[in-house]
Structure 1
Amino acid sequence: IIDPGHDFGKNTRHSLEATRRLPEMTATGFPVLVSLSNKDFVGETLDKPVDERLLGTLATTAVSAWLGAQVYRVHQVAQTREVLDMVASIRGTRPPAVARRGLA
């Protein structure tokens, strides 16, 4: 597993760059783990205290999933699961949970 180590020995710009470069890591064929929940780089990017970083964390999670991250260490499990399910459905790797509307 590759862990880019967001915030560990990095400043905010480094962690943002690590996120942008996730495709390079996933190209190795190894699974990539991201640990993003409430990180300082999210707080500094949005100027938010720890208890107000959920939306930034989920946005970063969605982008990371789109860029190929496969393993997540999270605090807000239910919200993160929804984000990951939505990204997978948009990518076409997960069908919608239900399809109630039909076209006439």
Structure 2
Amino acid sequence: MARSLDGLVLAPVADQAPGQVGTRTRFTYHEKDGEVWAEYAGGDVVRGHLVGTREGDRLDFRYVQLKGDGTTSSGHCLSTVVELPDGRVRLEESWEWESQAGSGTSVVEQVAADEH
């Protein structure tokens, strides 16, 4: 199993659709006893939270977010934790909105301390 996500900061490697998570978004992860949660913000997202579980290298969580225009949205995500050759962590994600139409895939990677 890849190392703990606790305290790691991750960012998307590419922008998603306008008004969603993008390369300027930062996720601060926490993990304890199979539970995972994170706060995120940046770009068009004013504030977001995710909460779920980890079993091995699989994460299963739901997320909610507030955008700059005052709208909220929520969804469900399944992620695979991958340890990169340089020791950083990558999450390969498959997500689906629950509050609106849409689904897709994304990749977030651990950022260096000076990129937070």
* TM over 0.5, shorter chain: no
TM-score band (shorter)?
Answer: under 0.3
Considering only CA atoms, is the larger Rg found in Structure 1 or Structure 2?
Answer: 1
Query: Which protein has greater RCO, CA pairs closer than 8 Å, 6+ apart?
Result: 1
Higher strand share: 2
Q: TM-score, normalised by structure 2?
A: 0.26
Higher helix share: 1
